[in-house]
Amino acid sequence: MSKRALTKYLQSLPKEELENQVLDLYIRFKPVKDYYNFVFNPKEGKLVEEAKAKIANEYFPLKRKRARARRSVAQKYIKQFILLEMDPALISDVMLFNIETVQRFNGIKRINQEAFYKSMYNSFQQATEFIQVNGLKAVYQSRMEAILETAWEQEWFNAEGLDRCLEEIKPA
């Protein structure tokens, strides 16, 4: 169904039926519920703190013995925050927090999987591009440089790639 056809259909509905359909969507679909909860009560700070706690718990669990270390958890939150059009500064903070947490974990328990480093490269590249596009590089430059420095100290095989990502956003 095209947007135009949907608009025409929605305009033809009586107000009460339209309200019922929106309520039904709210009840059936979690993304719709999340969207309306955010729109009417945008506690961005609380959402960011919850996301940071979940990300930290992936690498430094409070209730389990072993860390799961799943990048997908952070990516899920970042994607959701972008969809909700949260403040880009908060999204950037979560993106960098994820990488910093991974580096703290890697400093304690060395990870020897090439896929891990490729994944972190992708996360860093995504973060630097997002920060550049949203004009936040002055705010987060020191954190990004600290991440790069830690990557070199931990001897990441792709630290040079991280360096290139950072070089691409520096002013000419």
Per-domain boundaries in the chain: 19-169
At 64, give phi and psi (nearest 5°).
-100, 165
The answer to whether the CB of 120 falls within 8 A of the CB of 70 is: no
Averaged pLDDT of the chain: 90
Is the pLDDT at 31 greater than 60? The verdict is yes
The rounded distance, in Å, linking the Cα atoms of 155 and 145 is: 15
pLDDT at 35: 82
What number is the average pLDDT over the span 116-134?
A: 93
pLDDT tens track for 49-76: 999 999 999 999 988 888 888 888 999 9
What number is the average pLDDT over the span 9-32?
A: 90
The answer to whether the CB of 168 falls within 8 A of the CB of 160 is: no
Percent over 90 (pLDDT), the chain: 59
Other CB atoms within a 10 A radius of the CB of residue 103 amount to: 19
pLDDT at 171: 60
pLDDT tens track for 143-172: 999 999 999 999 999 999 999 998 887 664
Residue 98: pLDDT band (50, 70, 90) is very high
Residue 98: burial class (beta carbons within 10 Å; 0-12, 13-18, 19+): buried
Is the pLDDT at 28 greater than 70? The verdict is yes
For residue 98, which of 55, 137, 62 has the smallest C-alpha distance?
55
pLDDT at 169: 78
Which letter does DSSP use for residue 143 in this model? H
